[in-house]
Amino acid sequence: MAKPKRRYVCQACGSVSQRWQGQCPDCAEWNTLVEDAPATVFSAKHDLSSGGRAIRFEPLDAPNEKLQRRTTGLAELDRALGGGLVPGSAILMGGDPGIGKSTLLMQAAGKIALSGGSVVYISGEEAAGQVRMRAERMGLAKAPVQLASATSVRDILTTLGGMEPPTLLVIDSIQTMHSDQIEGAPGTVSQVRGCAFELIRFAKESGTALVLVGHVTKDGNIAGPRVLEHMVDVVMSFEGERSHQYRILRSLKNRFGPVDEIGVFAMQGQGLEEVGNPSMLFLSGRENPVPGSAVFPAMEGTRPVLVEIQALIVRLQSGATPRRAVVGWDSGRLAMLLAVLEARCGLNFSSAEVYLNVAGGYRLSDPGADLAVAAALISALGDRALPSHAVWFGEVSLAGEVRPVAHSGIRQREAAKLGFHRAFGPPGGAQPEVDTRYAEIALLPNVVDRILSDA
Ligand code: TYD
Ligand code: MG
């Protein structure tokens, strides 16, 4: 018999190499290749005599039980899930260590248990005493959550098999689980995948909603669990700056609802507090208009959020290479916008340091932010404050045109609700029914004229 070939699996992205290398050829991570069990070779013959069974086909219009979602008791979590927990579904909850995943899930577990659901919380990272202390701090000591500290998937599933299946099963985290059926240490791709497979099968068969916690590596991808993204129904990411209070729960994939929905929380002394109206949150103390600050009505899924964009320009005396630093926005996009401002508007940033910051630790992904960023940059460069109580939105093309973005009406309604009654945006964006003075900006040089000429 041929000797099984060795294979090496990257623990960051799951790609397979035939030989060990210091750097993964696919994702360029260092020291992530680990020897893995050889790939299984399946027999090529498939018929009833070789152990196969015939499967049954069903029509698409077969009567189906309606999706019975269950609320988690946290409206922001329900919103991000697309309306609550779906029985039998598997949810992957990713996030940096320390961002608050265990806190959020213990809170949801407590609320569900207090409203009559049965919840099993398995912690593979912390002793039961530690988890209990956290629950106590959040005022959930009386919640009938069934808590255990365990890492063996066999033990967990044996226990669950001997009881009524719970409404919710939380596994914190999937990287600490191990199965004795699979070779390798906990946290390796084959272990993570194998353990998740067994747990997800249990969820599907029993109708238990399953949440797997997964840690994320520094490049922002769910480590190891990236290989789980296709196995689960919902992928959520819990984000935020550790130094800020605010946390945003995003759905990156959802088989039962829309993606890009967000839930907003604030980390407090007694756990996470829900933030129902996030717009005010990201606008820092804006009493007097200051140069370099522009307000952008962002869209997060179906929800508008007003955020403040701050720019700072520092002229350099020496010929040193100027810095460009961005927090909360894409640095490539900033470079593009600076190039457009130079080429189309005749502004000169080449000898200046440029700092861009999105207030409140918020991370913008909405392409409509271009015009607001441009306005902040121009305002900072000219040391002129932008008109007060105004919002800016629109996508900027390389030619310097301002292009329309989706949901113009929702953005302006939200702005008006918070007292921003002026809007600058692409042609055709005016909304007659909204109480807003709308100024059309067709080309980026128009912004420069508006801000830098004496109006
Ligand atoms: P945790 O949920 O343990 O993070 P994760 O599971 O994502 O690793 O949260 C850890 C942080 O949250 C920790 O730095 C302390 C902070 N925290 C609070 O500020 N208030 C609280 O009530 C709790 C429980 C935690
Ligand atoms: Mg944790």
Q: Distance, CA 129 to ligand 1 centroid (Å)? A: 15
Which ligand has the shortest distance to the CA of 126? 2
Q: Distance, CA 103 to ligand 1 centroid (Å)? A: 6
Report the pLDDT value the prediction gives residue 292, as an integer from 0 to 100: 93
Cα separation, 35 vs 4, in Å, equals: 13
Which residues have C-beta within 8 Å of that of residue 116, sequence separation ≥ 6?
none
This prediction's pTM:
0.75
Whole-number Cα distances in Å, 312 to 164, 336, 440, 444:
59, 17, 26, 19
Report the pLDDT value the prediction gives residue 284, as an integer from 0 to 100: 57
Residue with tokens 């404050």: 385
Report the pLDDT value the prediction gives residue 42, as an integer from 0 to 100: 59
Q: 75-276 belongs to which homologous superfamily? A: P-loop containing nucleotide triphosphate hydrolases (3.40.50.300)
Report the pLDDT value the prediction gives residue 454, as an integer from 0 to 100: 56
Residues near ligand 2 ion, CB 5 Å cutoff: 102
Cα separation, 395 vs 137, in Å, equals: 46
Q: What is the residue with the minimal CA distance to atom 24 of ligand 1?
A: 271
Please name which of 406, 409, 349 lies closest in space to residue 373, comparing C-alpha atoms. 349
Q: What is the residue with the minimal CA distance to atom 10 of ligand 1?
A: 98
Q: Point out the ligand 1 atom lying closest to the alpha carbon of residue 99.
A: 7
Q: What is the residue with the minimal CA distance to atom 14 of ligand 1?
A: 98
Whole-number Cα distances in Å, 55 to 45, 58, 60, 164, 200:
17, 10, 16, 28, 21
Strand partners, 139: none
Cα separation, 170 vs 121, in Å, equals: 5
Q: Distance, CA 117 to ligand 2 centroid (Å)? A: 22
Cis amide bond preceding 173, omega within 30: yes
Cα separation, 348 vs 15, in Å, equals: 45
The verdict on domain 281-453 having CATH code 3.30.230.10 is yes
Q: What is the residue with the minimal CA distance to atom 18 of ligand 1?
A: 269
Please name which of 208, 232, 205 lies closest in space to residue 85, comparing C-alpha atoms. 208
Report the pLDDT value the prediction gives residue 433, as an integer from 0 to 100: 83
Residue with tokens 């991370």: 363
Q: Are 398 and 340 in contact (CB under 8 A)?
A: yes
User: Block means of pLDDT (10 residues each) for the chain, length 455 residues?
Assistant: 72 83 85 76 70 83 72 92 93 91 95 94 93 92 93 95 95 92 83 92 95 77 68 91 83 85 88 82 68 91 86 86 91 95 92 90 87 96 91 95 92 87 92 88 90 69
Report the pLDDT value the prediction gives residue 285, as an integer from 0 to 100: 59
Q: What is the residue with the minimal CA distance to atom 13 of ligand 1?
A: 98
Which ligand has the shortest distance to the CA of 93? 1
Q: Distance, CA 173 to ligand 2 centroid (Å)? A: 7
Q: Distance, CA 413 to ligand 1 centroid (Å)? A: 35
Q: Distance, CA 136 to ligand 1 centroid (Å)? A: 13
Q: Distance, CA 134 to ligand 2 centroid (Å)? A: 11
Residue 289: left (phi > 0), alpha (psi -120 to 50), or beta?
Answer: beta
Pocket test for ligand 1, best of 102, 267, 270, 273 (most atoms within 8 A of CB): 267
Which ligand has the shortest distance to the CA of 266? 1
Helix 331-345 / helix 444-452 crossing angle, nearest 10 deg: 80
388 C-beta neighbours (distance < 10 Å), count: 13
Ligand 1 neighbours by CB, cut-off 6 Å: 95, 97-103, 134, 137-138, 267, 269-271
Q: What is the residue with the minimal CA distance to atom 12 of ligand 1?
A: 100
Name the DSSP letter for residue 6.
Answer: P
Which ligand has the shortest distance to the CA of 172? 2
Which ligand has the shortest distance to the CA of 173? 2
- N residues, the chain: 455
Domain range list for the chain: 1-42, 75-276, 281-453
Q: Which two tokens stand for residue 376?
A: 């902040």
Whole-number Cα distances in Å, 132 to 85, 136, 213:
24, 6, 18
